[in-house]
């Protein structure tokens, strides 16, 4: 329910700011054989009969009250005040350097615009101390990121050991995640990831050709082959670790289905894609004209995945699986992600930043492990980014599903591809009732552990 709580501010701000302009949409209507009504607040999805659907379409355009009269439930919600608590997740940039030199890397090949750095052990442990001290019994997550985190293996190993001991003493649970290119992993590392139930996110773009085009090893070997060789034992037997591939889509090749196929062939069961929006190599980023085609590609990949599900498999296209899960839960958030509210990133020299993509950028600095997290900076950051205060977000029906777009990307490139996001969400909203009807066990897991 925390997703709703943050809506409180939103109403007061709406009333203040939008007195003069048209009210933001409160409903999104999706026509079809089984028409759908999506109530924006609370992300509530209903199937309705055609008569009612038509009546609502007409009344919404005229601004009368068919919606209230039919639904007999509050269309606008009000929540209590949002309380900013301490983050329950951090990522440690343990190696701000990388053995690969991917041309599109947001992190400037791991260095974030400065010289390569390795996080000293005391910085890592200090950040973990703070995380757990403020955890107040909640489950916490420590993520390891870079650059390439396996370049600082000792700090990785010792941090995990330390976090486990500390969490045990404090009576809280701790989970781990890592984002890696996979190329440096040893058999010991694989066992380590299994033992500690890591969520492993491997940056790999597709087959060898697709991958090696931008993900280049400094020693001119195929980074694909090196990564796959190191990853195979983990993919064959992940134990209790969860392994997912994450593929970056550039404008030079917008195909999604083929990448998923290639990565599934390698052995991944969970595969996600992200379109490149900002990059030092600007010719690779998607442009306004690319979004319609990318949307088509996403839907094509989703349809293929859905066909597999209909034949008895489970979802492997994680963009789709996550969207369906969020729709099922009625995720409704005024921000795009947990950054700052529930998650911060720690740079190699101990600075807190809003997330792993803004490390070393002073505009996104949130304090340091020596001075502590700045409550004021966090509040100001979140206050300024509330989706109801963003343009053109505040007049978009998908605003609480989308949250307004990645802070780091918006700061650099503004908002683009909004039609793509709406199109993708609408596709998922249409698919959701089918999944619920035909394969409910895939999403309606009432006993699932909420992490």
Partner 1 sequence: MSEKIFPLNLTARAAMQIAGNPATTRLESGVSNCFPGLEFDHRNLDRRFFPGLVFEFASSGSALRQGARLVDLDVDDPDLSPAAFQNRPGDAPDPRVQERLRDELRGETGRALQRGSWFLKTVEQGGKSIALHSHNNPASPLDAMTTWRLVHSLEPGSITLTLARRPEKEGETIPEPREVKLVGWRRIFVNSHEGVIVDAYAPGELTQSLCSPWTHDFRDCACTYWASNHPDIVLAEDVMGEPTLPSGTSANPERANTPIDWLRSDRVRARTAAAEGTEAENRSWQMDHYEINDRWQDLAIVLGGKETAAVYFPRPSELANPLSCPDELAQHLKDVATLEHVVALEYLYALYSLKNPNEVRDPDLRDTLIFVRHEVLRIAVSEMRHLRWANQLIWELEHAGLTTKKFGPSLDPATQVPALDAKGQPYMRPRALRILSPDVLQEFIDIEAPSGTIEGQYARVLTTLRQPRYPTTLHQLAATVIADGMQHYSRFRDIQKQLAFFPEQVGQTPPYLRALTPASPTGDGKAAKDLYDRIVGELQTAYAKGDVEDAGHIAEARRIMFDLDEAAETLGTEGFGVPFF
Give the interface with partner 1 as residue ranges (CB under 8 A): 36-37, 39, 42-49, 51-52, 70-74, 137, 139, 164, 167-168, 171-174, 194-195, 197, 239-240, 327-330, 332, 432-433, 436, 445, 447-449
| Min CB(151)–partner 1 separation in Å | 27
| Min CB(327)–partner 1 separation in Å | 6
Q: Would you say 98 and 109 are in contact if contact means Cβ atoms under 8 Å apart?
A: yes
Q: Which is nearer to partner 1, 134 or 361 (CB)?
A: 134
Sign of the C-alpha dihedral, residues 390, 395, 396, 400?
Answer: positive
Residue 110 CA to residue 203 CA, distance in Å, equals 13
CA distance to 86, 90, 434, per residue, from 443 (Å)? 30, 28, 11
318: its two tokens:
């994680």
Residue 102 CA to residue 338 CA, distance in Å, equals 27
| Min CB(239)–partner 1 separation in Å | 6
Residue 392, preceding peptide bond in cis (omega within 30° of 0): yes
Q: Which is nearer to partner 1, 216 or 439 (CB)?
A: 439
Q: Which is nearer to partner 1, 137 or 312 (CB)?
A: 137
Q: Which is nearer to partner 1, 87 or 351 (CB)?
A: 87
Q: Would you say 184 and 99 are in contact if contact means Cβ atoms under 8 Å apart?
A: yes
Q: Which is nearer to partner 1, 172 or 412 (CB)?
A: 172
DSSP E strands: which ranges in 106-166? 117-118, 140-146
Q: Which is nearer to partner 1, 204 or 401 (CB)?
A: 401
Q: How many residues does the chain have?
A: 451
Residue 20 CA to residue 180 CA, distance in Å, equals 49
Residue 92 CA to residue 159 CA, distance in Å, equals 10
Q: Which is nearer to partner 1, 101 or 170 (CB)?
A: 170
182 exposure class (CB count in 10 Å sphere: 0-12, 13-18, 19+) = buried
| Min CB(38)–partner 1 separation in Å | 9
CA distance to 3, 16, 159, 292, 343, per residue, from 149 (Å)? 32, 46, 12, 36, 19
| Min CB(131)–partner 1 separation in Å | 14
| Min CB(383)–partner 1 separation in Å | 25
| Min CB(412)–partner 1 separation in Å | 33
Residue 322 CA to residue 116 CA, distance in Å, equals 34
| Min CB(338)–partner 1 separation in Å | 19
Q: Which is nearer to partner 1, 192 or 381 (CB)?
A: 192
From 307, 327, 358, select the one nearest 91 (Cα to Cα). Answer: 358
């Amino acid at each position: 329910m925390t997703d709703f709580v943050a809506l409180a501010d939103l109403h007061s701000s709406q009333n203040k700011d939008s007195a003069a302009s048209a009210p933001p949409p409160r409903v999104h209507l999706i026509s079809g054989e089984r028409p759908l009504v999506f109530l924006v607040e609370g992300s509530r999805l209903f199937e309705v009969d055609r008569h009612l659907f038509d009546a609502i379409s007409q009344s919404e355009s005229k601004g009368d009250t068919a919606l209230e009269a039919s639904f007999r439930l509050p269309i606008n919600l009000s929540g209590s005040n949002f309380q900013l608590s301490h983050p329950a997740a951090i990522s440690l940039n343990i190696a701000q350097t990388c053995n690969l030199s991917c041309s599109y890397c947001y992190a400037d090949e791991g260095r974030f615009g400065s010289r390569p750095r390795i996080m000293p052990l005391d910085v890592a442990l200090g950040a973990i101390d703070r995380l757990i001290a403020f955890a107040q019994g909640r489950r916490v997550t420590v993520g390891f990121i870079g650059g390439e985190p396996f370049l600082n293996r000792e700090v990785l190993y010792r941090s995990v050991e330390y976090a486990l001991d500390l969490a045990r003493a404090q009576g809280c649970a701790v989970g781990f995640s890592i984002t890696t290119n996979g190329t440096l992993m040893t058999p010991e590392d694989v066992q380590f990831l299994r033992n500690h139930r890591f969520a492993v996110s491997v940056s790999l773009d597709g087959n060898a050709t697709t991958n090696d085009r931008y993900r280049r090893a400094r020693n001119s070997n195929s980074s694909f082959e090196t990564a796959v060789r190191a990853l195979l034992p983990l993919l064959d037997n992940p134990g209790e670790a969860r392994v997912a591939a994450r593929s970056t889509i550039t404008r030079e090749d917008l195909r999604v289905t083929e990448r998923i196929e290639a990565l599934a062939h390698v052995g991944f069961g969970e595969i996600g894609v992200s379109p490149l929006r900002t990059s030092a190599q600007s010719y690779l980023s998607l442009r306004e004209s690319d979004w319609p085609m990318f949307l088509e590609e996403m839907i094509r990949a989703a349809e293929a995945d859905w066909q597999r599900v209909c034949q008895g498999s489970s979802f492997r296209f994680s963009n789709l699986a996550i969207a369906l899960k969020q729709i099922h839960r009625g995720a409704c958030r005024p921000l795009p992600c947990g950054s700052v509210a529930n998650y911060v990133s720690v740079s190699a020299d101990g600075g807190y930043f809003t997330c792993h993509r803004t490390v070393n950028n002073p505009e996104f600095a949130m304090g340091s492990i020596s001075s502590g997290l700045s409550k004021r900076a966090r509040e100001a950051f979140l206050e300024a980014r509330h989706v109801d205060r963003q343009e053109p977000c505040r007049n978009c029906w998908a605003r609480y599903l989308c949250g307004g777009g990645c802070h780091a990307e918006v700061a650099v490139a503004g908002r683009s591809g909004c039609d793509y996001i709406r199109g993708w969400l609408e596709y998922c909203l249409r698919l959701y009732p089918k999944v619920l009807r035909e394969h409910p066990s895939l999403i309606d897991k009432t006993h699932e552990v909420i992490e």
